[in-house]
Amino acid sequence: MSLILKSIFWLMVGILFLSSVLPLSKIPHGAVRGLAFPREQFFVITLVMFVLGIVFLDSQPRMYALITLTVVAGIHLAYVVKFTPLWAQQSVDASQAELADKDSHVTILASNVKQSNRDFGALIDLIKAEKPEIATALEVDQEWTDELHAALKDDYAHWVTVPKDNSYGMVLMSKLPLSETQVRELLVEDVPSIRTTVRNADGQEWRLYIVHPEPPVPNHDTKGRDGEIAMIGIEASKDDMPAIVTGDLNDVAWSTTTRRFQRLSGLLDPRVGRGFYNTFHAGIPIMRWPLDHLFHDAEFRLIRLSRLRNIGSDHFPIMFSLALTRTEKAITTPEPSGAEERDEVRELVQDEKEKDREAIGTDWEK
């Protein structure tokens, strides 16, 4: 191996090492938090580098390289292996009796349409084909809202529409009755979320939270995103009803922020022990990770989890079918959150509330 190639090799080793350890920190900045997204990709690259090190390096440099790359691969693997069948699941599959009790079921189709995407028919046709009780669409502007309502108003009796031209609009369509509905800007102006009560066909009620916090970007901190996700987690943990939180969290399932959300909320992730179900980026197969989520109370049982077909967006829609029971049950549960962590969240939220700024990415789709 030439000197130039060796220099490139060691530069790559250094980049891979930093990419594996920096996201372990609590630094709330996009340049750090964004490194947690491609852990799958970094793991594969690390394996390739490991083989190159064996083949091309001399004995002593090879030892240092292989030790470093083994540590790097181990860190990435420790996070992503939880989203493979090798790991114990969290969500419990519905029993035959629960499958038969269809009045306790709810199917939720969650989609981020990408505001500039004008293929309205692709999502409309998908919703008509899948017939979920609840459908959500994020990044909707007024035209998206109008098109969805015109095509689906006869199928969905209950609507919550929050059209915006800043990529943070959202719409909720439901066949099930809704009540106590609130549209809130929890932390950042013009970044809405929805909180509502849903009543199943059997009369059971539960709480639905729909969220779409800001994305991490390299030139900005992530306190707005991290704070909103944490606030929803704390609120869901205190809710007197079984809760579901769904939406594009602009965060991967294995990140520090999402893991903290699970500790704060106690909600289960049906991906754990089942698969990645990567929803972004729909147009770049080698750069995909799970950004669109659903977390649920332990009183729900999982019936179906599916990533659906491309609708012209940079996100794939994802669909979850659940049965609401009257007992809590889980195979594994998130670790409980401690007082110190909750104090950190309160400080984070207070710091963000004192800022006067525009939401990140409001002009990306213009």
Q: Where are the domains of the chain?
A: 3-83, 96-349
Say if residues 311 and 267 touch (Cβ distance below 8 Å).
Answer: no
Q: What is the pLDDT of residues 22-36, one digit of tens each?
A: 998 888 999 999 999
Task: Convert 119-140 to b/e letters by CB count within 10 Å (16 or more is b).
Answer: ebebbbebbeeeebbbbbbbbb
Please count the residues of the chain: 366
The total of other beta-carbon atoms located within 10 Å of residue 264's CB is 23
Q: How far apart are CA 175 and CA 199, in angstroms?
A: 10
At residue 58, the pLDDT reads 84
Q: What is the pLDDT of residues 166-182, one digit of tens each?
A: 999 999 999 999 999 99
Taking every pair of Cα atoms in the chain, the longest distance, rounded to a whole number of angstroms, is 71
- Structure token digits, residue 135: 């459908």
At residue 147, the pLDDT reads 98
Angle, CA of 188, 189 and 190, to the nearest 5°: 115
Q: How far apart are CA 150 and CA 22, in angstroms?
A: 48
**296 CB-side CA count, 13 A:** 28
Q: What is the pLDDT of residues 332-366, one digit of tens each?
A: 999 999 999 999 999 999 999 888 899 999 888 86
H-helix segments, 107-217: 120-130, 142-152
At residue 6, the pLDDT reads 86
| Level-2 CATH architecture, domain 96-349 | 4-Layer Sandwich (3.60)
Does 260 score more than 90 pLDDT?
Answer: yes
